[in-house]
Structure 1
Amino acid sequence: MKGSVAYRSIQKRGLHIGLLPAMAAAVNGATPITLDHDLDVLPEVGRNLTVSRLADLVDDLAARLWAAGVRPDEHIVVHKKANADVWVLACAASRIGAIPVMLSPGLDARTVGALLERVGRPNLLTDEHKLDVLAEVPVAELTRRVIIVSGERPGAQSLGKFAGAPRVRPVVRPIDEAAVITHTSGTTGLPKLVVHTPRTQGIRLKPQWRLLSLMREPETVAVHISFVHSRMVAAMALALLREMPVLLMNESDPDTVAELFLRNRPGFIEALPNSLMEWESLAEDPRKPFASVKYFSSTFDAIHPGTMSRLLKSSERRGAFFFQIYGQSEVGPAVGRAYFRGSAHKANGRCVGWQMPGGAAKVRVVNRDGERPSEKNPGFIEVAWPGLAKTYFAEQDRYDTNRFGDWWRTGDVGYFTRFGCLHMLDREVDMIPGVRSSLEVEDLVLSKLPELSELVVIQGPAAEAIPVICTRDDQPLDPARWRKAVAGFPQLADPVQIPQAELPRTATLKVQRLALADRIKDQLKNRT
């Protein structure tokens, strides 16, 4: 089977992640998959796999889940330590017709308990560490059964117990029924559970498949994104069907990352924006860990132009470019644009891209107050295409409030330029009176102060714009340099510096702005 044949099959029948490894093995079973860590569920398999080996592991784990009592149409919450086996186990659950519900390892126990209750007594696939974290949650009451990946715990079944279980035939779920459930970032409260179907997952591959088709030869792709995110489904499907060797990364420490890149020489990096910011210092590394990279790609959140410029200049590949995709869990990829070595530093970071070709999403901006959307009067950004998520699990009314016929309101505000570029200025809930765009302020100030590792502009208790800053190695910031950098933004209050480790983040490392704002308000209140 050729990758193009497999892709056409997915467009017709939907993307079933339980079938994906076997499908990719039929395309090229020898395609290598390298890990930077051991799988918790099967540490003995090592860190160097092939797609054929992956397909066999998924089949094995599917048999073990069946032997443990998991059946088609049942929900199985996957919540364990961050590890690539999260995605492997989700594939195994899908292979027997169960519906994996992917919960970030970064969620606190209260949130996990609330989401277990929302799903309605699901199976829970976890590990001993997470059971300790959930000690105060009535797990036995909230779940149908508890399965751990290894070890022994009272009241839980261990997958190790079912080694050698008879293999079972795959179960294919209906194309328009729930296939995988992920959750939103939780930046505005309890995360919403986003329902993806085989059809919506398959459709989301369209624009990126066309872009990857422009590559002359397969390149090793390094993937450093949340294993529970819907983007992981698309990233792995695209890479494996395009016969691209994969480096699946769990580590983010720059020194470790440098060693990985020097050893594996990726030509393509897909990573979280904040991970790329953390790795910026590697651009100055004399070993040149980014020298082999021709393609950088990022989704989840807009990335600062300075970061893209430094990464591109550290590549030694001709024609290297950075492709940014704007979207969200509910809509998938909406718009995108490429940045190049010679111009990335001059780019407007608020320009998140143009609508992509190849059956991709449609995007519009609608007015918020009766006036035509513009730079000075941004409107609501809305997206329409068959790739929209089906619903929010157990919260149809909440989903319906954002759905306007075929159109989904993203919660972001922005405008189109006369050249058709979508500018995203802010989340509606993060808008601050007197500030055109907090994200724009952050872009511009970060470009002037390389000693900053993060800058987040939040709304203070008196509706003032408070810049919260973090510096590299948490060093003190020179006040004079700060005043010079923000001279064009008189609406900013004095900065509040905190250690980088104290920034509240989501599973995809986005800063939880509302949580940060609440924390800073309490901090300022205690000072008075």
Structure 2
Amino acid sequence: MFLQRIGNKGIGLGTILERAAARHPANLVALDHDLDIAPGLGRRVTVAELADLVDDFASRLAAAGVRFGERVVLHKGDGFDIPLLAFAIARAGGVPVLLSPQLDGASVAELLRRATPAHLLTDQTKLEQELPDTVHEYATSVLLATGHHPDATALADLAGTARVAPVALPADHPALVTHTSGTTGLPKLAVHTGRTLEARYRPQAGAVALVRRRETVAMHVSFVHSRVISAIAISLYRGFPLLVLKDSAPRHTADLFARLRPGILEAHPNSFMEWEELADDPRAPLAQVKYFSSTFDAIHPRTVHRLLHASRRRAPLFVQLYGQSETGPVVASAFTRRQTADANGRRVGIPFPGMTDVRVVSRDGRPVTPDNPGFIDVRSGGRAVAFLDEPERYAKQLTADGWWRMGDVGYRDRLGRLYLLDREVDVIDGFGSTLTAEDTLLAKLPELTEVIIVRGPQGRPVPVVCTRQDRPLDRAAWQAAAAGLPDMAEPVQWRVEDLPQTATTKIKRLELGRLLAG
């Protein structure tokens, strides 16, 4: 039976590292970058040192005027100090509002306006070079995590402030605000409570509890995503060493993995696609990986196949979680080496018993089938409780009987497994599933690193392709691979770095379609 409310006391963001340090103080966190707020700590840091850093900055924030329940919009240069500062804000009693470093200044200003009243915590570079002057009008105060500015309070000037006790927010009080992926426009600001964050943490922690051996966890997850909170907590509570990557470039990643030999990898689907070439590295950087974990989106079968076969561990698993920023993970599936490169990659799994549920509703009154997919609705104790300043958009995704509409279309098979076929806004009439077609093309054409099928002029499907080292596409091989698929326009070749992407490396399909039309 689905439990809409899970009894818990909330995750307690401000004391996550303190509690982890109480259990495993000498456990190590390795970074591939220096912390902007504490470059002197180096790139191998103990959990106890990180807990002390959070305590230090919580005291500075309190001295700067952050009070119980006040929002603090955090927008700074990319790095692991983003979640550390979020923990510090929470420890001071504030509510962190995390905005991606990749957002443009105008978008940040608008999201700050929606969050008012709120402090703005940024850095000197962002404030001087990217953010418009309107942020000073919207913000209660402007605080600088690094650097100085005459119109802002620099936290560096508050070093040595007397430490303060952590402030605990009630379990149902807003505890964290993150933005949605923004694949269809300006992101929404999703409000999470301590209770909803705990509900997201529990099923994943239960799965990791089955891991008996102490493993090094390598993580490349957007630092402003709610997923990073549970990933840190799950790893450090168990005493697993943590390797945090800001840079996902394959050569850089291979160098780190060859040296540190992680046993668990956590990343977004597009990062795993980048890392396919690690399977060919003679140093075997993936040899010790026992568990691969991909968050929130279906992943291409070719990627799963290549990575699992690069592991030299007995019976490695690839765990796929499906959900969204608003809900947390809702369903899960696991793949083994027995799955072939052309397996059905649209199967995203089954709900977490007692914690999440899913249904598929007809769009047109006809039965839901693979050829006539329906709306995917879910229930989850981890669902965000509101969209900040946009109650009507939140209410629009809630059905009359209390289910949350994901914006995706799919179907369930006789075993209850969910299949994701497309985003609702990306459906191309008469074509079928664009994601299934992309899986087929990637399985047949190993030279492709990405293929995205979008609606082009007059509604005709246009495939946008990227190749390894940007080599010219083999048109004969393409024609052979696409022969069994619905009619498409000729492929358009782009560099992968030119594709419009979100903070979690999702391709902004609607924006890509507009760019093609222009």
Within the candidate set 100, 116, 123, 1:104 is matched to 100
After TM superposition, list the pairs within 5 Å mapping 1:72-83 onto structure 2: 72-83=68-79
Matches of 1:422 and 1:12, distance apart in 2: 28
Using structure 2 for the length normalisation, give the TM-score: 0.97
Name the residue aligned to 1:400: 395
* 1:376 corresponds to 2:371: yes
* 1:235 corresponds to 2:253: no
Within the candidate set 263, 272, 291, 2:268 is matched to 272
After TM superposition, list the pairs within 5 Å mapping 1:476-495 onto structure 2: 476-495=472-491
Within the candidate set 53, 63, 72, 1:67 is matched to 63
Deviations 1:470-511, CA, capped at 9 Å, x for gaps: 111111101111111100124211111112111000000000
- Give the counterpart letter for 1:395 in structure 2: E
Matches of 1:499 and 1:264, distance apart in 2: 31
* SS of 1:338 mapped into structure 2: strand
* SS of 2:157 mapped into structure 1: helix
8 A contact 1:109–1:133 mirrored in 2: no
The count of corresponding residues between Structure 1 and Structure 2 is 512
8 A contact 1:11–1:202 mirrored in 2: no
User: 1:355 Cα shift?
Assistant: 1.7
Matches of 2:251 and 2:456, distance apart in 1: 37
Within the candidate set 315, 330, 337, 2:311 is matched to 315
* 1:429 corresponds to 2:414: no
* 1:124 corresponds to 2:120: yes
Deviations 1:328-377, CA, capped at 9 Å, x for gaps: 011111111111113242420111111223x3211111111112211121
* SS of 2:228 mapped into structure 1: helix
8 A contact 1:325–1:333 mirrored in 2: yes
Deviations 1:410-435, CA, capped at 9 Å, x for gaps: 00000001122100000000000111
Within the candidate set 333, 338, 347, 2:334 is matched to 338
Matches of 1:448 and 1:313, distance apart in 2: 18
* SS of 1:282 mapped into structure 2: helix
- Give the counterpart letter for 2:10 in structure 1: G
After TM superposition, list the pairs within 5 Å mapping 1:72-471 onto structure 2: 72-357=68-353, 359-404=354-399, 405-471=401-467
* 1:42 corresponds to 2:66: no
- Give the counterpart letter for 2:64 in structure 1: A
8 A contact 2:387–2:393 mirrored in 1: yes
8 A contact 2:431–2:486 mirrored in 1: no
8 A contact 1:109–1:137 mirrored in 2: no
**Would the alpha carbon gap of residues 456 and 448 (structure 1) be closer, same or farther in structure 2, given more than 3 Å must change?**
same
Name the residue aligned to 2:12: 16
- Give the counterpart letter for 2:457 in structure 1: P
8 A contact 1:16–1:198 mirrored in 2: yes
- Give the counterpart letter for 1:399 in structure 2: Y
* SS of 1:112 mapped into structure 2: helix
Matches of 1:328 and 1:136, distance apart in 2: 30
Matches of 1:371 and 1:64, distance apart in 2: 60
Name the residue aligned to 2:497: 501
- Give the counterpart letter for 2:150 in structure 1: P
- Give the counterpart letter for 2:481 in structure 1: A
- Give the counterpart letter for 1:211 in structure 2: A
- Give the counterpart letter for 1:384 in structure 2: R
User: 1:192 Cα shift?
Assistant: 0.2
User: 1:185 Cα shift?
Assistant: 0.6
* SS of 1:13 mapped into structure 2: coil
Matches of 2:361 and 2:238, distance apart in 1: 37
Name the residue aligned to 2:3: none
Unaligned runs of 5+ in 2: 1-5
* SS of 2:156 mapped into structure 1: helix
Matches of 2:115 and 2:98, distance apart in 1: 12
Deviations 1:293-336, CA, capped at 9 Å, x for gaps: 11000013211100111111111100111000011011111111
Name the residue aligned to 1:4: none
Root mean square deviation of aligned Cα: 1.3
Using structure 1 for the length normalisation, give the TM-score: 0.95
Unaligned runs of 5+ in 1: 1-9, 523-528
Matches of 1:161 and 1:372, distance apart in 2: 64
Matches of 1:202 and 1:121, distance apart in 2: 26
8 A contact 1:434–1:491 mirrored in 2: no
Identical counterparts, % of pairs: 50
8 A contact 2:91–2:168 mirrored in 1: yes
- Give the counterpart letter for 1:184 in structure 2: T
Matches of 1:417 and 1:342, distance apart in 2: 20
List structure 1 runs of 4+ shifted beyond 3 angstroms: none
Moved more, 55-64 or 25-34: 25-34
Matches of 2:340 and 2:133, distance apart in 1: 48
